[in-house]
A and B are shown apart, each in its own frame.
Chain A
Amino acid sequence: MDGNLLTFQNVSKIFRRVGFGFLGKAVVQALKDVSFSLSSEPEVLALVGESGSGKSTICRLILGLEEPTSGEILYKGKSISEWLKNNKKDYIREVQIIFQDPYEVYNPFYRVDRVLWMAIQKFNIASGDEASKLIYESLEAVGLRPREILGRYPHQLSGGERQRIMLSRIYLIKPKLLVADEPVSMLDASLRAIFLDHLRNFKDLGISTLYITHDLNTAYYIADRIMIIYSGRILERGPTEDVIKNPLHPYTKMLINSIPVPDPNKRWQDRVVIDVAKLQKLSSKELVSGCPFYNRCQFAMDICEKNFPSVKRINNQEVNCFLYE
């Protein structure tokens, strides 16, 4: 037992498609040598990357929906496959998820109360009067008025309300680890802040959160630590403040530089230049042994094409880049 809640040890995941006909064989390296851990102290760890970077694969691996091709994922020191074989119920009670889309997680034929009652039943959380008291409490904890929510059908509620019911479900179950997969990308700006505040408060309940997002702004708002993932590789990680204020990897710098600033007096001074030919080379998903950012990096060196740099520690941050070797 290393004292960590969750540990990824050199996890790789390769998706293979057996080819026949015009659907040729295809191999996609979704994750390569990913290692990170969440400590047993509650924290919010943000995993930031663009679409196709492998964020969702990490999420599926944690939930046990996929098995890693190589490497190991430990939850409280035991591998996930072991948990699922021997203590499946404990595992799913302790590891919960909030999905991106608040519209598709509900069965439209049932009232929304059901998602809360099911959780109580399945995990034997409470019974009778105590259970309904708990439901009231959990709805109020995320700023909803139980009287306006209970007994209604999903289509009668807005996206923000539905997503907050999911939060209240988490409050009810009180898992140890919450995986939040882009939970606010479908919410309006005015609701986003409220939602994130609740999510952040979950730390006080002893819930650690892996916050998966493409949006550095919200990650900055909520996370204690940030990991930047690109094309299946983690390129940089460290405490939020350090990574945002002092990004090391060229990719992180490019990301931060591309975020629009909500201030008309601070408009972009530089322009994006993208070499389309290079991009196409990049999109052919072959197994690259070098740095995945090589094709887009303005500091690319010869060594970057064939080799992937090892982790370099600089102050509190860790970065994988030959610029710092």
Chain B
Amino acid sequence: MNTILEVENLKVYFKTILGDAKSVDGVSLKVFEGEILGIAGESGCGKSTLVEGVLKIYKPPCYIPEGKVYYKGIELLSLPEEEFRKLRWKELSYVPQGSMNSLNPVIKIEEQMVDGILSHADMSYHEAKELALSALNSVGMPPDVLDMYPHELSGGMRQRVCIAMSLCLNPKIVFADEPITGLDVVMQKLNLQTLGDLRDRYGITVVMVAHDMACHAEICDRICIMYAGKILEVGSTVDIFSDPLHPYTKGLLSAVPSLEKRNLKGIPGLAPSPLEWPSGCRFHPRCSYRMKICEEEEPVLEEVQPGRSVACFLYGGK
């Protein structure tokens, strides 16, 4: 498998009056060509900030003190903004969180889509409209949608328009941030399947950020589990679900409600604050396998089986 995107020790901080909020604090990760990678974790673990950092679409007070992102051998973060802008959308596109509310309510879909295409590509209005049409078609939307205003569509359909917009210029990677939250279950299924199609039919690499583990189980090939700004575990979806290694992953999975089991277990304790992460392993205050070393040293994300990495002293981690 070819690595299409590589993130190296990326840190994304927010400046606050109480000091830096270290939302993403040293994440290294590889995305392979043609895969669907899921990034899972609870609110505040830094999963959305990670994507914003990779695409450099953050705004102050957010900044990147350290880290590198390689895409096809190019280091993205040191690229001048003008150069990066050419890559965005064309190569790396993005479906923002709550994208159903990101459309302009007083402009027709056609104009919004064409406008986006023209600002990134040099072509005529007519060609751009053709592209928009084919993008809508690839997410299973009829052409009449172009002539509608956003309020005429349901939330799920608006979200699919946003997915279509991200496809217009044939990107290599689509980053989808919480693509299905706030939708009804039937629409959720439809949109997840649409994302799955991007890879299956068009060979696009998809990075999906979502807090719902069940969604990851449906379409992802690999999953990264994030907690407190760090990646705790990476592995194939089947491995993660059948044999979770990190105690946090175990806890997260036993807290997923499902129609097949009627016992749920939560993880006691509270998520820590990004202003002051716990010392040592960031999960140790909530971990039931806590050892002495966990409070003092931070475990390193280490490959324990082929394609499977975990940051925990139970599995080495030094």
Contacts and interface: CB of A to CB of B under 8 A. Distances in A.
Interface of A: 50-51, 158-161, 188-197, 214-218, 220-221, 244, 254-256, 258-265, 267-268, 271-272, 274, 276-277, 279-280, 283
Interface of B: 42-43, 141-142, 145, 152, 154-155, 157, 184-186, 188-190, 192-193, 211-215, 217-220, 237-238, 241-242, 251-253, 255-260, 262, 264-268, 270-271
Given A189-B213, A221-B264, A272 B256 contact: no
Contacts of A272: 186, 189-190, 193
30 contacts: A158-B270, A158-B271, A161-B270, A188-B211, A189-B252, A189-B255, A190-B267, A191-B266, A192-B264, A214-B184, A215-B257, A216-B185, A217-B257, A217-B259, A218-B257, A221-B264, A258-B188, A259-B185, A261-B258, A261-B259, A262-B253, A262-B256, A263-B217, A263-B258, A264-B217, A265-B242, A267-B217, A267-B218, A268-B193, A271-B193
A173 to B, nearest CB: 25
A190 B288 CA distance: 14
Contacts of B251: 190
B214 A259 contact: yes
A259 B152 CA distance: 26
Contacts of B142: 276-277
Given A220-B259, A260-B192, A261-B217, A276 B271 contact: no
A177 to B, nearest CB: 24
Nearest to A194: B266
B218 A221 contact: no
A156 to B, nearest CB: 10
A193 B266 contact: yes
A258 B215 CA distance: 11
B218 A260 contact: yes
B266 A262 contact: no
A239 B139 CA distance: 38
Contacts of B214: 259-262
A161 B155 CA distance: 30
B259 A262 contact: no
Contacts of B211: 188-189
Contacts of A190: 42, 251-252, 255, 266-267
B6 to A, nearest CB: 25
Given A189-B213, A261-B260, A283 B252 contact: no
A292 B271 CA distance: 43
A256 B259 contact: yes
A276 B141 contact: yes
A260 B262 contact: no
Contacts of A218: 257
B212 A260 contact: yes
A263 B241 contact: yes
A9 to B, nearest CB: 29
A191 B220 CA distance: 24
A244 B193 contact: no
A236 to B, nearest CB: 15
Contacts of A254: 186
B256 A189 contact: yes
A189 B44 CA distance: 13
Nearest to A265: B238
B190 A260 contact: no
A298 B152 CA distance: 24
B186 A258 contact: yes
B184 A51 contact: yes
A193 B189 contact: no
Contacts of B265: 193
Contacts of A255: 185-186
Contacts of A51: 155, 184
A133 B230 CA distance: 41
Contacts of B220: 264
A160 B267 CA distance: 12
A276 B154 CA distance: 10
A9 B108 CA distance: 45
Contacts of B42: 188-190
A159 B184 CA distance: 23
B208 to A, nearest CB: 12
A274 B190 CA distance: 9
**Which of B155, B186, B260: most chain A CB closer than 10 A?**
B186
A188 B185 contact: no
Contacts of A256: 259
